[in-house]
Amino acid sequence: MKKLISIILIISIAFTLASCANVEKPDWQTSLDLGQKYLLDGNYEQAIIEFNKVIEIDPKNVEAYIGLTEAYAAQGDYDSAIAVLEQGYAETGNQSLQNRINELRGLAASQTEAVTALPGTTTVPTRTEVITELDVESRKVKQAIFGNGNSAALTEDGNLYMWGANGCGQLGNSYVPVKIMGNVAFVSLGSGFSAAITTDGSLYMWGENGNGQLGNGTTEHSSVPIKIMDDVVSVSLGDFYSAAITKDGSLYMWGKNNHGQLGDGIGGDSVYRIEYIEGIDSNIPIKIMDNVDSVSLGNEYSAAITKDGGLYMWGANGYGQLGNGNPAFCSEVPIRIMDNVSYVSLGDNYSAAVTSDGSLYMWGYNLCGKLGNGTTEHSYVPVKIMDNVASVSLGWYHSAAITTDGSLYMWGYNEYGQLGNGTSGGYGGAYDYNYYYEGIDSNVPIKIMDNVASVSLGDYYSAAITTDGSLYMWGQGSLGNGMYYDDSSVPIKIMDNIVSVSLSLGFGGSAAITSDGSLYMWGNNTWGQLGNGTTGDGNVPIKVEIPVE
């Protein structure tokens, strides 16, 4: 549990490390290095001691304040964590510390951290979103995923349960939760394959393996978890390819490489295919980079943030989604795009980054104005959209951002009212999403709600949790309001006491965890992914009964 919390907080409270190359080592550097090592190892008390030593020597050391914040928050001591950020902001004036104060207050209020895209512990933006509860009692659900026809729940005692579709052995086939393995710290679902990190840092994978995405040296599917690597702190699954970061900050990737998305310097064949190509794809992990804090996988393109705040991107680039100014060619190696980046999110051929001062930049495919830059022209370089942004979420064709004061802004495609601004595509004609409809879609951010702690986007619908734990949903899809595909162009309150929510992109399902650790699911149930023993869809939240051993 402690390792999971540390991983999530390292990801969600991203920080910029100053380079020490060719500079005499300062007096505080040893303590800073030790503090970061103890933090990664889960030795939070020693980390607190070392970070405090740094602050005594250098009261303006931003890295030490953020490290100390992570150590306190990982133990559930949010009051101390917030106090450290307030002290750090007073001493340094660093805006990123002020931004994190608002984020942690929302986290403390709901005792949760939503991972979207997650940086580091990364979701697959075009497929599924992951939700994580940080502070729950034993045998309660702490993480749940509504995936591509299957679902997963991880309980606080480390047991992983799965149910739903099982075409390639990605779980034990069942319409109700079945235990897969124990001692699990984190789980991720890809397109027909799955991954879990155990409490000792071992990475296990299973399911579909046609492109070598399991990383076990074969292309044979596996119906049981196979150990792939040691010392793993985060894993990300994309469309038939995978990535993992180890404790020393090394990034490894494997699987499909048709657009150079592995970043190993080998040219892709730039065609869509499902078969494994020797010499292009890889069925074993390949080391790509050092000093990586987080990784995100998109639609055949990839992004990583290094410890010095550098954003690197590689892979497919047909719409300029890499942000390097040249949309004509893929990149087979990581290219540095921006500095001072604290968070990155990848959508459907478009990208977003939040810098350490809270600025939001976006670039790539601009269908229906989803970049929010006031146009519908694609952008091949990052364009600044907003200030004071705490988090950003990208769907297929619409986007959302939460500012540091808790305001929710949305923009992009709005045929089904998924922006939540009271309008939709009901104008009496066939809607063409390749065209921008003035007065329906929006190519600039629109304020939708106040007091928002987290937001999650599905294909044509959206969800937000407010700071009081209320869940609101809008758009078309699995809203949970008792209706099947009945559009709503404004937010509708669905449930109370919610700490996290997950929406599935393209599979029309939702999941929510309540403050007592109960899991509720609703929506598409074609493969039994609601876990209620049937294959009938659900239009209201249904409690999933997790077996107690």
Nearest to 252 by CA among 226, 284, 300: 284
pLDDT in tens, 282-325: 999 999 999 999 999 988 999 999 999 999 999 999 999 999 99
Identify the H or E element spanning 71: helix 62-74
pLDDT mean over 258-278: 83
pLDDT mean over 200-224: 94
pLDDT at 466: 95
Residue-by-residue DSSP string for 321-371: TT-SS-TTS-EEEEEEEESSEEEEEE-SSEEEEEETTS-EEEEE--GGGTT
Higher pLDDT residue, 41 or 209? 209
Nearest to 441 by CA among 393, 489, 476: 489
On the question of pLDDT at 19 being above 70, the answer is no
On the question of pLDDT at 123 being above 70, the answer is no
On the question of pLDDT at 272 being above 70, the answer is no
CA gap 334, 288 in Å, rounded: 8
> Residue 73 in contact with residue 9, Cβ under 8 Å?
yes
pLDDT at 376: 94
Alpha carbon 141 to its chain's center = 19
**Mean pLDDT, the chain, as a whole number?**
82
Give the lowest-confidence range in 39-53, 239-253, 352-366, 433-447.
Answer: 39-53
Nearest to 289 by CA among 259, 322, 324, 265: 265
Identify the H or E element spanning 133: strand 130-133
- CB-hemisphere CA count at 13 Å for 113? 25
On the question of pLDDT at 426 being above 70, the answer is no
CA gap 275, 185 in Å, rounded: 32
pLDDT at 129: 37
pLDDT band at 31 (very low <50, low <70, confident <90, very high): confident
Tell if the pTM clears 0.95, that is, is over it: no
pLDDT in tens, 467-511: 999 999 999 877 888 876 678 999 999 999 998 887 765 557 888
Any idea how long the chain is? 549
Q: Which domains does the chain have, with CATH numbers?
A: 2-20+28-110 (1.25.40.10), 113-532 (2.130.10.30)
On the question of pLDDT at 11 being above 70, the answer is no
pLDDT band at 107 (very low <50, low <70, confident <90, very high): very low
> Residue 113 in contact with residue 105, Cβ under 8 Å?
no
User: What is the distance in angstroms between the CA of the first residue and the CA of the last residue of the chain?
Assistant: 19
pLDDT mean over 383-389: 98
pLDDT in tens, 86-95: 888 888 876 5
